């Protein structure tokens, strides 16, 4: 009986499996073949009811978090740092009470200061490593480092219990701990206290301007530069420079008699400052501009090292060596800038270095050169800076402020060149009495005119307004050069007496030049030339009706007025023949 039941069950299972396979085959076939259309009948199918979708509830946007969280600021940072400062002040007040009441002597005060600061440092480190990055841990460590430096200061300078050398070593150890913590935690405030405190260590412990102090400061500055390159804290370069530069200057002043050592130290610190100024950009290529701190450090470095070396050598009665120091430092900047311009670095670095080098060379040239040679040097520097400005504007990531700075520097050098010419080679009264030396005046004015016209050439695609300004400056300089040459060659005798024929020719030259500018402006439809020509004609009229009428003799006066009148008539005729006014009132030229 059991075997019969079991046989029936197995038979049912086989049938069920067979039915299952058939159903699966049918489903697969229907999925592959398109559905056949249903046969149509005359009876109308009932209309399909399309259900209306339920209205979707508009999801409310997530609440926007404010970028400034006042509660987090007050509850996290302010409380933490206020607590750290309070602890530090509490320790100071406790020591003050203990000192006033005679509880502890001087060695115990120093010991308690070290123990308290070290305990606070360990507590902050434990909080950070065990409880995560919290402002309380950072505040505790920063306060502890400050307390350790203060304890060293009191122990060395006030009580004299710690030798200066031992205090310097202790300050170095504190700075090393601060640097290690700052790098590990990536904390800028800890880095500021640790590194800048280490740089201030020679002043804090009173080691003076000894060789040990300088060596310690060099090591601390090297560490600061390393942290700057590692963490990219651009502000650290400026802080390190502001702290160490006065100490380097004081050391150079006290050790001026040891020329090789002093100059070697200045050169070494110059290299460190250059790396500190440009290291940030080297680590962040592709940035739009150099940070302001880099500009300030590089400029301050040039002034500090160049000025200190110059005065040390000049004090040692070596003026030629002092000038050579400035020019050598300028050449170093220019060579580095040229190398940077040829490499795959940001052009702003190269242009900045070259600009600083040219600035140093300007002071060197002013000391060793004089007369038109100095003017030529300044004009050449203006040309180089204008060229660098145009190149900086064409780099892949142009920096407008970079080009503006370079153009400003070019304008300063051009102004120096023109000012020197107007003060010495060709003063303004030269159009009346001539110049002291015509060759010097021609060289100086020619150099200024060439620099302005070259500026017009390089600026034509950079800024049309600046291009026109440079064109006007070059034209005015050439006009002044020709005027001086006329007066000095024709209007002054060999004995230095004035001749009136020179003033007659000068008035005619101004009027003729103004007329030529007007005609050129009419033919080329260039309004700026027409206005310049009219202005020069007005200047000629003013001169003839004031100076010539009052100072010249009758025949010379007649010649001036006749020449001016003929040229003015020619100008009026040119306007009537060349200028055309269309029906809309707009000017045109035939």
Instruction: Tell me what pLDDT residue 3 has.
Output: 54
Q: Would you say 568 and 537 are in contact if contact means Cβ atoms under 8 Å apart? A: yes
Residues in the chain: 590
DSSP state of 183: H
* Cα separation values, 136 from 85, 128, 131, 133, Å: 11, 8, 10, 9
| Residue 334 pLDDT grade (very low, low, confident, very high; cuts 50, 70, 90) | confident
Helix H or strand E segment including 587: strand 587-589
3-state secondary structure labels for all residues of 163-232: CHHHHHHHHHHHHHHHHHHHHHHCCHHHHHHHHHHHHCHHHHHCCCCCHHHHHHHHHHHHHHHHHHHHHC
Distance, in Å, from the CA atom of 385 to the CA atom of 54, rounded to the nearest integer, reads: 72
Tell me the angle at which helices 259-283 and 211-231 cross, rounded to the nearest 10 degrees.
10
Q: CA 224, 226, 231, 234 torsion: positive or negative?
A: positive
Helix H or strand E segment including 321: helix 319-342
DSSP state of 581: E
Say what the pTM is: 0.59
| pLDDT tens per residue, range 213-258 | 788 888 888 878 887 777 777 778 888 899 899 989 988 988 888 8
Distance, in Å, from the CA atom of 540 to the CA atom of 280, rounded to the nearest integer, reads: 58
Cα first-last separation, the chain: 129
Which of 123, 131, 125, 218 lies closest to 168 in space, CA to CA?
Answer: 218
Domain ranges of the chain: 77-207, 369-497, 499-589
pLDDT for 193 beyond 70 = yes
Tokens read off for 144? 């502890």
3-state secondary structure labels for all residues of 234-270: HHHHHHHHHHHHHHHHHHHHHCCCCHHHHHHHHHHHH
Which of 310, 271, 311, 278 lies closest to 296 in space, CA to CA?
Answer: 278
Instruction: Tell me what pLDDT residue 478 has.
Output: 94
Q: Would you say 261 and 255 are in contact if contact means Cβ atoms under 8 Å apart? A: yes
Distance, in Å, from the CA atom of 578 to the CA atom of 572, rounded to the nearest integer, reads: 10
Instruction: Tell me what pLDDT residue 495 has.
Output: 60
547 bridge partner residues:
none
Instruction: Tell me what pLDDT residue 74 has.
Output: 44
| Residue 306 pLDDT grade (very low, low, confident, very high; cuts 50, 70, 90) | very high
Q: CA 534, 537, 539, 545 torsion: positive or negative?
A: negative
Mean pLDDT confidence for 417-435 = 89
Which of 467, 505, 460, 463 lies closest to 484 in space, CA to CA?
Answer: 505
Distance, in Å, from the CA atom of 78 to the CA atom of 82, rounded to the nearest integer, reads: 6
Instruction: Tell me what pLDDT residue 95 has.
Output: 55
Which of 289, 308, 312, 195 lies closest to 242 in space, CA to CA?
Answer: 195
Mean model confidence pLDDT for the chain: 76
Q: Would you say 290 and 299 are in contact if contact means Cβ atoms under 8 Å apart? A: no
Distance, in Å, from the CA atom of 247 to the CA atom of 472, rounded to the nearest integer, reads: 49
Burial class (CB in 10 A: 0-12, 13-18, 19+), 300: middle
| Residue 386 pLDDT grade (very low, low, confident, very high; cuts 50, 70, 90) | confident
Question: Who has greater pLDDT, 468 or 213?
Answer: 468
Exposure string over 134-159, b if 16+ CB within 10 A, otherwise e: ebbbbbbbbbbbbbbbbbbbbbbeee
Out of 82-96, 190-204, 237-251, 344-358, which region has the weakest mean confidence (pLDDT)?
A: 82-96
Tokens read off for 587? 């000017």
Q: Would you say 341 and 347 are in contact if contact means Cβ atoms under 8 Å apart? A: yes
Full DSSP string of 548-576? IHHHS-HHHHHHHHHHHHHHHHHHHHHHH
| Alpha-carbon torsion, ordered 335, 338, 344, 346, to 10 deg | 100
Question: Who has greater pLDDT, 18 or 487?
Answer: 487
Out of 194-198, 327-331, 428-432, which region has the weakest mean confidence (pLDDT)?
A: 194-198
Helix H or strand E segment including 109: helix 106-131
Which residues lie below 8 Å from residue 284, measured CB to CB, with a gap of 6+?
Answer: 232
Q: Would you say 350 and 338 are in contact if contact means Cβ atoms under 8 Å apart? A: yes
Distance, in Å, from the CA atom of 542 to the CA atom of 539, rounded to the nearest integer, reads: 5
| Residue 344 pLDDT grade (very low, low, confident, very high; cuts 50, 70, 90) | low
Which residues lie below 8 Å from residue 267, measured CB to CB, with a gap of 6+?
Answer: 305
pLDDT for 345 beyond 50 = yes
| Residue 351 pLDDT grade (very low, low, confident, very high; cuts 50, 70, 90) | confident
Distance, in Å, from the CA atom of 536 to the CA atom of 412, rounded to the nearest integer, reads: 27
Out of 252-256, 332-336, 585-589, which region has the weakest mean confidence (pLDDT)?
A: 585-589
Burial class (CB in 10 A: 0-12, 13-18, 19+), 554: exposed
| pLDDT tens per residue, range 33-82 | 444 444 444 444 444 444 444 444 444 444 444 444 444 444 445 555 56
Tokens read off for 195? 């590194």
Which residues lie below 8 Å from residue 568, measured CB to CB, with a gap of 6+?
Answer: 511, 537, 541
| Residue 281 pLDDT grade (very low, low, confident, very high; cuts 50, 70, 90) | low
| pLDDT tens per residue, range 570-584 | 878 877 777 654 334
Mean pLDDT confidence for 133-158 = 74
| pLDDT tens per residue, range 70-113 | 444 444 455 555 655 666 566 556 555 655 655 566 787 778 77
In 192-243, DSSP assigns E strands to: none
Give the three-class secondary structure for 54: coil
3-state secondary structure labels for all residues of 388-441: HHHHHHCCCCCCHHHHHHHHHHHHHHHHHHHHHHHHHHCCCCHHHHCCCCHHHH
Instruction: Tell me what pLDDT residue 269 has.
Output: 93
* Cα separation values, 398 from 250, 409, 507, Å: 41, 18, 48
């Amino acid at each position: 009986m059991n075997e019969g039941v079991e046989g029936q069950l197995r038979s049912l299972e086989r049938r069920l499996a067979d039915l299952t396979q058939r159903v699966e085959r049918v489903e697969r076939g229907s999925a592959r073949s398109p559905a056949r259309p249903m046969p149509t009948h005359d009876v109308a199918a009932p209309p399909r009811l399309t259900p209306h979708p339920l209205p979707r509830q508009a999801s409310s946007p997530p609440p926007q978090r404010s970028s400034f969280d006042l509660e987090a600021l007050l509850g996290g940072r302010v409380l933490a740092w206020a607590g750290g400062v309070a602890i530090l002040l509490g320790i100071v007040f406790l020591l003050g009470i203990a000192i006033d009441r005679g509880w502890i002597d001087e060695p115990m005060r120093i010991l308690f200061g070290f123990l308290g600061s070290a305990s606070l440092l360990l507590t902050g480190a434990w909080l950070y490593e065990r409880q995560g990055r919290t402002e309380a841990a950072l505040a505790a460590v920063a306060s502890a480092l400050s307390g350790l430096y203060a304890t060293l200061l009191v122990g060395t300078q006030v009580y004299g219990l710690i030798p200066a050398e031992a205090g310097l070593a202790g300050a170095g150890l504190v700075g090393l701990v601060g640097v290690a913590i700052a790098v590990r935690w990536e904390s800028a405030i800890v880095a500021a206290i640790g590194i800048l405190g280490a740089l201030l260590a020679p002043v804090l412990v009173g080691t003076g301007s000894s060789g040990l102090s300088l060596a310690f400061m060099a090591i601390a500055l090297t560490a600061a530069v390393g942290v700057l390159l590692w963490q990219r804290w651009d502000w650290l370069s400026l802080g390190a420079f502001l702290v160490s530069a006065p100490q380097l200057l004081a050391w150079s002043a006290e050790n001026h008699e040891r020329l090789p050592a002093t100059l070697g130290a200045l050169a070494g610190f110059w290299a460190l400052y250059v790396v500190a100024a440009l290291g940030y950009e080297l680590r962040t290529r592709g940035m739009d501009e150099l940070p302001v701190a880099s500009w300030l450090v590089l400029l301050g470095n040039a002034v500090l090292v160049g000025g200190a070396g110059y005065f040390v050598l000049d004090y040692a009665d070596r003026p030629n060596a002092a000038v050579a120091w400035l020019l050598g430092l300028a050449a170093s900047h220019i060579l580095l800038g040229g190398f940077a311009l040829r490499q795959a670095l940001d052009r702003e670095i190269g242009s900045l270095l070259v600009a600083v080098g040219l600035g140093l060379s300007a002071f060197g040239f002013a000391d060793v050169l004089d007369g038109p040679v100095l003017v030529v040097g300044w004009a050449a520097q203006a040309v180089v800076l204008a060229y660098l400005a145009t190149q900086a504007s064409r780099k892949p990531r142009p920096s407008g402020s970079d080009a503006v700075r370079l153009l400003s520097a070019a304008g300063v050098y051009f102004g120096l060149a023109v000012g020197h010419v107007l003060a010495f080679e060709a003063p303004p009264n030269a159009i009346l009495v001539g110049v002291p030396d015509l060759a010097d005046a021609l060289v100086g004015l020619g150099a200024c005119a060439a620099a302005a016209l070259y500026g017009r050439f390089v600026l034509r695609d950079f800024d049309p307004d600046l291009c026109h300004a440079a064109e006007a400056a070059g034209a005015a300089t050439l006009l002044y050069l020709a005027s001086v040459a006329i007066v000095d060659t024709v209007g002054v005798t060999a004995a230095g007496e004035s001749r009136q024929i020179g003033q007659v020719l000068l008035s005619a030259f101004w009027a003729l030049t103004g007329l030529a500018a007007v005609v050129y402006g009419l033919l080329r439809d260039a309004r700026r030339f027409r206005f310049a020509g009219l202005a020069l004609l007005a200047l000629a009229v003013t001169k003839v009706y004031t100076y010539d009428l009052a100072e010249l003799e009758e025949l010379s006066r007649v010649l001036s007025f006749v020449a001016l009148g003929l040229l003015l008539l020619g100008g009026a005729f040119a306007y009537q023949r060349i200028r055309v006014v269309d029906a809309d009132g707009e000017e045109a030229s035939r």
